[in-house]
Amino acid sequence: MDAIADPNFKHQGNKPGSVEESPSLLTVIVDITPQLWTEFDLKNGKKDSILDVLKALIVFLNAHLAFNTSNQVALIAAHSQGIKYLYPKNKADDDEISSKNEKEDRDLFIISKNMYRRFRNVDETLVEELYMLFKEEEQSIGKVTQKSTLAGGISAALAYTDRITREMETISLKSRIMVLTCGSDKGNRDEVFQYIPIMNCIFSATKIKCPIDVVKIGGSKESTFLQQTTDATNGIYLHVTSTDGLLQYLSTAMFIDPSLRQIIVKPNKGSVDFRTSCYLTGKVVAVGYICSVCLCVLSIIPPGNVCPACDSEFDERVIAKLKKKPVVPRLTKRKSANHVSKK
């Protein structure tokens, strides 16, 4: 723990022959879209499952900070209308939060004042920010269109990770990202339309060697693109049916160090669906048309013979060949040996 936290603590320095572990940065993206969690509660006959997730997440973050005094955490919320950085907060945001609390006269001091300082800073900020965000989400239900913002959350996490890594060039910083989302039995929502942004995130994470882990709660269908994300970035994909025992799943599967994942059997599924989605229809396809300029995948020939992604005009001769129906050769009938006339 920090020397300031305990006045009796005396730093003795590293002993001869000891190896100091490199600090680690854990960035968590929480999908708190109300529509998904409401469907999950109705199906499982529960209430406020997101609170169970919040409790497990707080313990998980505190455990990560306890491993090493140099470890860092960051939290990003992906809600129905965008993303929001929850932790860490800058001084201007802290002043704004405190002024709002005074105006609303809320009493959210549920965190013990005797808690370790770093734990308390994370826990209080997380509870305060999520409370205000949930309040805004309740007012927007039924008024605005619900959409998925996971791709934006992953992009923001990668940007934050890259900035912190550049600021700590003298220190070997290990970084990883964890996505915590809720599944739906009605399909993958509009996740199919996020294929290109998610692929860009995969390329960026691979370049900076940052694994992306995914924890999906509920839902009968697997997330195709999130599975591809974990497979390409050497991450872990975990699908749990309920919030019961979530902390045990997080503390066992999600604490595997990235440097050890090459020699440890990860709790991933054996098969990964590598299919892509059509840019126009959003349907997952195995065979389709590909634009030679932007590599846009299409399941149908676009109207006007123009790529809907980059506006490139396709060759009319090529389009004519694609529209041409295949020619099936006629098979000639062979004469039976019994009908052959004898000379």
In angstroms, how far is CA 297 from the centroid of its own chain?
Answer: 23
CA angle 191–217–84, rounded 5-degree value: 60
Distance between CA 307 and CA 296 in Å, rounded?
Answer: 8
Residue 254 φ then ψ, to 5°: -90, 5
Band of the pLDDT at 91, cuts 50, 70, 90?
Answer: low
Write out pLDDT tens, residues 3-59. 445 554 454 455 555 456 788 999 999 988 777 777 777 777 777 788 888 889 999
Region of residue 310 (phi > 0: left; psi between -120 and 50: alpha; otherwise: beta): alpha
Write out pLDDT tens, residues 250-300. 988 898 888 788 888 877 766 787 777 788 877 778 888 888 888 888 888
Distance between CA 100 and CA 123 in Å, rounded?
Answer: 18
pLDDT for position 179 = 94
Mean pLDDT, the chain, as a whole number?
78
Domain borders along the chain are: 2-260, 275-343
Residues near 325 by Cβ (< 8 Å), separated by ≥ 6?
none
pLDDT for position 210 = 93
Query: How many C-beta atoms surround the C-beta of residue 204 within 10 A?
Result: 17
Of all residues in the chain, the percent with pLDDT exceeding 90 is 20
Distance between CA 62 and CA 51 in Å, rounded?
Answer: 17
pLDDT for position 193 = 55
Q: Across residues 144-161, what is the average pLDDT?
A: 84
H or E segment at 61? helix 49-67
| Long-range own/partner contacts, residues 109-116 (CB < 8 A, 24 or more apart) | 116/1, 116/5
Band of the pLDDT at 170, cuts 50, 70, 90?
Answer: low
pLDDT for position 143 = 60
CATH of domain 2-260: 3.40.50.410
CA distances from 263 to 208, 258, 275, 325 (A): 21, 10, 28, 51
Lowest mean pLDDT among 74-83, 90-99, 151-160: 90-99
pLDDT for position 74 = 95
Write out pLDDT tens, residues 172-228. 889 999 999 887 665 544 455 577 788 889 999 999 999 999 999 987 778 888 888
Residues near 214 by Cβ (< 8 Å), separated by ≥ 6?
178, 179, 181, 223, 226, 227, 229, 230, 235, 236, 237, 238
